[in-house]
Amino acid sequence: MKRKLAIGVGAALALSAFGAAPAMAAEGDSTVSVLHAVPGLTVDVYINGEEAIADFEPGTLTDPMMLAAGSYDIQVFADGDTPDSADPAIEAMGVEVPASANLTLAAHLTESGDPTLSAFANDTAAVEAGQARLTVRHLAAAPAVDIRAGGDIIVEGLTNPDEAALETAAGSVSADVVLAGTEDIAIGPADLELAEGVNTIVTAWGSAADGNLALAVQTVEAHSAPSGVPSDLGVAAGDDGTTGIALAIAGLMGLAALVVVRRQTAPVAERR
């Protein structure tokens, strides 16, 4: 039996990036990337009745696409199905796409393991010279987790489908994911390169019960002017990293709350 997913307008517009973007970006176009983070579900995506992407496999993150504002019909089929042979697993018809957004759509599992779609606004605000932004998202079928960098907790008690962000010195860092309040490593360690003036987005996805937890990494420009300032291992200059990271997380948690509110209140289009 096919799994049918409800798709909100905010999520649907990101899928329409496939095959619909102009060759050159125009003023007001939106930047959209799509992460497929549902294990074991390969799909084909149709835009306005035409196949736009085939064999979209779990773990795949698309390149950023520029999408003009407008109306689109999006249908997602189980791999190999077509509009002539089957009903779509997901569809959203007449989706009105807004202008000038930077979004990531993630198809992922809820904490309890049900497939769902979430849309995130990527933070492109400028960072100071020599600094980088790190965003972490929990989109796995797993309980609350702590995110560690260099063995130190930088994000504590993150739950699905929330995110947290911080600003730190650009450089290399070894990160892992542990079950909240424990030393039990769920994912990693993974070596991350936090580039100056870039928002590095690290997403935990998969299923703890099925033993297929993984990380997906995306980078988004944060409009910083490079300065050649020396960097260290992902720790804010001038302290041991603990105070600056804690303040950054506290100040930026409002962004995660905004994303959740938008996702919960988005209109739903579903074919039954």
**In this predicted model, what pLDDT tens digit does every residue of 156-170 receive, in sequence order?**
999 999 999 999 999
For range 200-219, the mean pLDDT: 96
The percent of residues above 90 in pLDDT, for the chain, comes to: 44
Q: How many CB atoms lie within 10 A of CB 40?
A: 9
Question: Could you tell me the domains of the chain?
Answer: 7-121 (2.60.40), 131-252 (2.60.40)
Q: Looking at residue 96, what is its pLDDT?
A: 60
Q: Comparing 20-24, 28-32, 196-200, 256-260, which segment has the lowest mean pLDDT?
A: 256-260
Give how far the C-alpha of residue 62 lies from the chain's centroid of Cα atoms, to the nearest Å. Answer: 11
User: Distances in Å between the alpha carbon of 265 and those of 7, 89, 271?
Assistant: 12, 22, 19
- Cα torsion 210, 213, 218, 224: sign: positive
**pLDDT over 80 at 131, yes or no:** yes
| Spatial CB neighbours of 66, under 8 Å, sequence gap ≥ 6 | 21, 22, 24, 25, 26, 29, 30, 31
- DSSP summary character for residue 49: T
pLDDT one-digit tens code per residue, 185-194: 999 999 999 9
More confident residue, 180 or 243: 180
Q: Looking at residue 79, what is its pLDDT?
A: 93
For range 252-263, the mean pLDDT: 32
Residue type, 43: V
**pLDDT over 60 at 105, yes or no:** yes
For range 80-97, the mean pLDDT: 79
For 188-218, give the secondary structure using H, E and C: EEEEEEECCCEEEEEEEEEECCCCCCEEEEE
pTM comes to: 0.71
The position carrying tokens 């189980």 is: 78
Q: Comparing 74-83, 105-114, 246-255, which segment has the lowest mean pLDDT?
A: 246-255
**pLDDT over 80 at 128, yes or no:** yes
Q: What is the DSSP string of 106-121?
A: EEEE-TTS-EEEEEEE
Q: Looking at residue 216, what is its pLDDT?
A: 95
Q: Looking at residue 97, what is its pLDDT?
A: 60
Most confident of 8-17, 129-138, 247-256: 129-138
For range 76-87, the mean pLDDT: 90
**pLDDT over 80 at 26, yes or no:** no
Asked whether 181 and 242 are in contact (CB, 8 A), the reply is no
SS3 call for 29: coil
